[in-house]
Structure formats: structure tokens, C-alpha cells
Structure 1
Amino acid sequence: MEEVYARRRKYPAVRIMKRPSTRPFAGITTHDPAGNIFDLSQRDMENRTSVYVETVQP
């Protein structure tokens, strides 16, 4: 996540929030410069399931 924080410093208008209780699968919630909101999580978080997890394809 440190890499995410480091990249975000280039865009001071972009804000980062700690995980809201309504989205337990997210590590942080943020938005891009255009205002699109999205969640980020670490790969090995135990509470990531279904559509929030990418499966490794052979």
C-alpha cells in the first residue's frame, strides 16, 4: 500500500479514506482525478470473496 500512497502524493486533490464499515473488503477508498470512487485492498486479505477476488489463471 505504500506504493499507492507514494503515487497519490502527486495528486494532492485526491483524498484517501480508511475502510468504511459498509465495505469490509476494502483496505482504502479513494477516487481518481476525474472523481471516480474506487476501493483498494491487499491481495491476501481474508475477507475478500466472490467478485472482489481475481483468480489466478493458468
Structure 2
Amino acid sequence: MAFEDKVDNKAEEVGGKVKEGVGKATDDERLEGEGKADQSSSKLKQAGENIKDVFKS
């Protein structure tokens, strides 16, 4: 399960980067902000997964 969560988190991060890039390219501040928020959320989830991994070892 943890591996799947990590893949999902990475996909969310990449999607956020794409949204941010499209927002910058189209001068859409809302889309750019959503992309940054998606990336932040993903990084927070990844940190949580890493903490779980530490306690499993």
C-alpha cells in the first residue's frame, strides 16, 4: 500500500507542476495557485509516508 501511495503522491506533484506551468503560460493566477497547492499537498503526504517508513523499520 505504501508504494501505491508514494506513486499517487508523485503523480499529484507532477500534475501540480503541470497546472502551475499552464497557469504561468496562460497568465491564469488561479490555475497557477492550484498547481502550487497540489504540489505542497503532495509533498506533505510524501513526508507522512516517509515517517511511516521510518517506524516500520
Same fold (TM over 0.5): no
Higher strand share: 1
- Scaled by the length of structure 2, the TM-score of the pair is 0.28
- Scaled by the length of structure 1, the TM-score of the pair is 0.28
Higher helix share: 2
